[in-house]
Amino acid sequence: MSYDISLYRIETREKEESTDDESFFENEENLVAFTEQQFQELKERLISYGYQLSEENDYGLQFSHDDEDKGTALLTKEALFFRASWTEDSIFEVGMTASEFTDSGEYAKYDFQNGEWEIWE
């Protein structure tokens, strides 16, 4: 079992909040893609946080971390998915990392377990 937190462009959050579509995240067309620059900056930021690129596939870039509490990350063209193990320390660490990634104001964090958005303010 894992704890999933995602990072999307702020425009995706605005679209999701303006609809009652319960399957909003399942439709890729609802998600606003990162620009090439944003994608590259997110990749570089993950690396600066100690994540290592472990696989590149059709879904995106998969990252792992030596510290298991930091979980794993998957960077796709529309989202950055963080996956924590179901421990208090891992959920905290991954949640804090995702929150820090919202500091530019370009991204919003979505916690799937709580169904809540978080933005940098």
CA distance 13 to 91: 22
pLDDT at 83 exceeding the cut of 70: yes
Mean pLDDT of the chain: 95
pLDDT category of residue 121 using cuts at 50, 70 and 90:
low
- What lies within 8 Å, CB to CB, of 35 at 6+ separation is none
pLDDT for position 1: 77
Domain that holds residue 51: 2-119
- What domain count does the chain have? 1
CA distance 17 to 19: 6
**3 state SS for 29-93:** HHCCCCCHHHHHHHHHHHHHCCEEEEEECCCCEEEEECCHHHCEEEECCCCEEEEEECCHHHHHH
